[in-house]
């Protein structure tokens, strides 16, 4: 991967990749990192067993990482309770 990402951005990409409801398109929109680059990043940053678990989950019916697998009712990248995408911090209740 040839992107100039800092450690915080890499950590956030990994966190977003682990989230079932965050599509790859949201990661690309926010960080300019394609699905293939996310997979490459996950392969290099995770232990082999963790990477295999993640790939299995992404390719399962549980995950909605691909917009094609999502319900058509979901038409946004972020939770309605979430602040503007500055570090994706969820507001305290």
The pLDDT tens digits of the residues spanning 26-56 come to 899 899 999 999 999 999 999 999 999 999 8
Instruction: Spell out the residues 6+ positions from residue 13 whose beta carbon is closer than 8 angstroms to its own.
Output: 5, 27, 31, 33, 38, 41
Strands (E) across the chain are located at: none
62: left (phi over 0), alpha (psi -120 to 50) or beta: alpha
Tell which residue, 32, 27, 35, has the closest CA to residue 78.
27
Instruction: Return the pLDDT at 4.
Output: 85
pLDDT at 92: 47
pTM above 0.75, yes or no: no
First to last CA, the chain: 38
């Amino acid at each position: 991967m040839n992107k100039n990402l800092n450690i915080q951005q890499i950590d956030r990409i990994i966190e977003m990749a682990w989230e079932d409801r965050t599509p790859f398109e949201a990661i690309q929109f926010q960080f300019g990192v394609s699905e293939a680059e996310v997979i490459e990043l996950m392969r290099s940053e995770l232990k082999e067993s963790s990477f295999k678990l993640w790939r299995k989950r992404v390719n399962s019916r549980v995950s909605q990482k691909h917009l094609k697998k999502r319900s058509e009712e979901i038409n946004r990248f972020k939770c309605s309770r979430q602040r503007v995408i500055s570090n994706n911090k969820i507001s305290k209740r």
